[in-house]
Amino acid sequence: MPVIDHDALRRHAIARTFFKPTTLLRAIQRLGFVQADPIRAPARAQDLILMHRVKGYRAGDLEARYARLAVEEDCLVNYGFLPREHLALLHPRTARHAWDDEMNGRAAEVLAFIKARGRTHPQDVQRAFSHGRVAGYWGGELNASTHLLDGMHYRGLLRVARRDAGTRVYEAVAHAPQNEGAEARHARAAALLDMIVALYAPLPSPSLGYLTTLLGYGTPHLKAEARNALKDAKQRYGHTKVDGETWYWPQDENPASRAHRVDPLRLRFLAPFDPLVWDRRRFERLWGWAYRFEAYTPPAKRTMGHYALPMLWGDRMIGWANLKVSDGRLVPDLGFIDKRPRDPAFRTALDEAYHETSLFLGLDP
């Protein structure tokens, strides 16, 4: 019988997430969730994730086509994009911190304003209301109207209708009421847990527990139900122990399957939030080194770079790349865990990855 070891788990993780490139909507449906990030280095995280999974994808395609797709911007374990049908699992959402009467009054006024106008840019809200300034998430200050719109979106009063040059344009939305019985709430939490496992499997037990906790970001009102669903993990998912640690994956999958083929000559630059990279604990278990996301680390303390993209060659994470664009050309800065591979196959794979990335960015390849 084939053995499930770290090699098998590594091949399974790669093969299942890099499915045959498909349409944009089908790729998002297949993934279930695409994490977003505003940093563009050389493209936003959502674009870097989708370039490997959508046929002919170009940076910015998601933003350009979003309004025509059955896709929503919303919160799951982080902020990102998910199929519209998943909203029924998330809403109506009860925020962890209730608003006071003053904030509820402001929200009611802004909601009435947006309902009357239709799709509304935040600048229109800022011009109509004098909300002042509030403390920012990462220090500094934010426009209070922007902060309020974020909160209204999170609470399910607004949806993102489109983006204009990266800025969210909102419209009012009303989510259908849900069955709040204990059984129905447990079923919603279990379905959310299934989404997480399907996206990030195979998962070591500590990572599954951590992700269950993070579901409290997108569904704080189902926090207790998610913890209870986690207790049934060994009944819901395939699992085994490797080096004393239990790993989980969807019940209908087999990590030991010989069908999990990985192209040994393919090289990919992966976003820091790619499903293959996102779980740093799993990354270290499968590839033997610790990847660090250092965009918010002071430059003098960085070891990999501002926005290091892990480099996957075949089934090996051999290092990272910092990519920038200068004079219309891709400029790479590479780092390696061991010595840089010297064989011609690596040089060819690297050139092909540069070519693919240049096309994705709309550069001269």
Report how far apart, in Å, the C-alpha atoms of 7 and of each of 37, 242, 260 are: 31, 11, 11
**CB–CB of 195/109 below 8 Å?**
no
Backbone angles phi, psi at 171, to 5 degrees: -140, 160
Residue with tokens 């865990």: 337
Quote the pLDDT of residue 132: 55
Q: How far is CA 236 from the centre of its chain?
A: 23
Q: What is the dihedral of CA 353, 200, 70, 359, to 10 degrees?
A: 0
Report how far apart, in Å, the C-alpha atoms of 305 and of each of 33, 296, 312, 323, 338 are: 27, 10, 17, 10, 17
- Least reliable range by pLDDT among 201-210, 258-267, 326-335: 258-267
**CB–CB of 34/50 below 8 Å?**
yes
Q: What is the pLDDT of residues 231-240, one digit of tens each?
A: 999 999 999 9
The candidate with the shortest Cα–Cα distance to 311, out of 342, 282, 285, 340, is 340
- Least reliable range by pLDDT among 121-135, 264-278, 317-331: 121-135
Q: Counting every residue, how long is the chain? A: 365
Q: Is the pLDDT of residue 211 over 60?
A: yes
The candidate with the shortest Cα–Cα distance to 321, out of 265, 263, 267, 264, is 267
How many Å apart are CA 342 and CA 44, to the nearest integer? 31
Backbone angles phi, psi at 145, to 5 degrees: -65, -40
**CB–CB of 247/233 below 8 Å?**
no
Q: How confident is the model at residue 115 (pLDDT cuts 50, 70, 90)?
A: very high
Residue with tokens 């896709």: 71
Higher pLDDT residue, 308 or 1? 308
Question: What's the mean pLDDT in 138-164?
Answer: 86
- Least reliable range by pLDDT among 111-115, 212-216, 260-264: 260-264
Quote the pLDDT of residue 135: 57
The candidate with the shortest Cα–Cα distance to 264, out of 57, 15, 3, is 15
Q: Where in the chain is the domain with CATH 1.10.10?
A: 101-172
Question: The CATH number of 101-172 is which of 1.10.287, 1.10.10, 2.30.30, 2.40.128?
Answer: 1.10.10
How many Å apart are CA 166 and CA 74, to the nearest integer? 15
Q: Is the pLDDT of residue 139 over 60?
A: no
Share of the chain above pLDDT 90, in %: 89
**CB–CB of 143/133 below 8 Å?**
yes
- Least reliable range by pLDDT among 22-36, 44-58, 117-131, 302-316: 117-131
Quote the pLDDT of residue 258: 78
Quote the pLDDT of residue 260: 79
Q: Is the pLDDT of residue 138 over 50?
A: no
Q: Is the pLDDT of residue 111 over 80?
A: yes
What is the 8-class DSSP label of residue 168?
Answer: E
Mean pLDDT of the chain: 94
Question: What's the mean pLDDT in 203-218?
Answer: 96
How many Å apart are CA 181 and CA 301, to the nearest integer? 51
Q: Is the pLDDT of residue 118 over 80?
A: yes
Q: What is the pLDDT of residues 58-103, one digit of tens each?
A: 999 999 999 999 999 999 999 999 999 999 999 999 998 899 999 9
Question: What's the mean pLDDT in 174-191?
Answer: 95
R_g over Cα of the chain: 22
**CB–CB of 48/36 below 8 Å?**
no
ω into residue 42 within 30 of 0, thus cis? yes
Q: What is the pLDDT of residues 256-304, one digit of tens each?
A: 987 778 899 999 999 999 999 999 999 999 999 999 999 999 999 999 9
Token couple for 87: 């909203």
Q: How confident is the model at residue 197 (pLDDT cuts 50, 70, 90)?
A: very high
How many Å apart are CA 136 and CA 220, to the nearest integer? 22
Side by side, which strands form the sheet with 237-242? 203-204, 245-250, 237-242
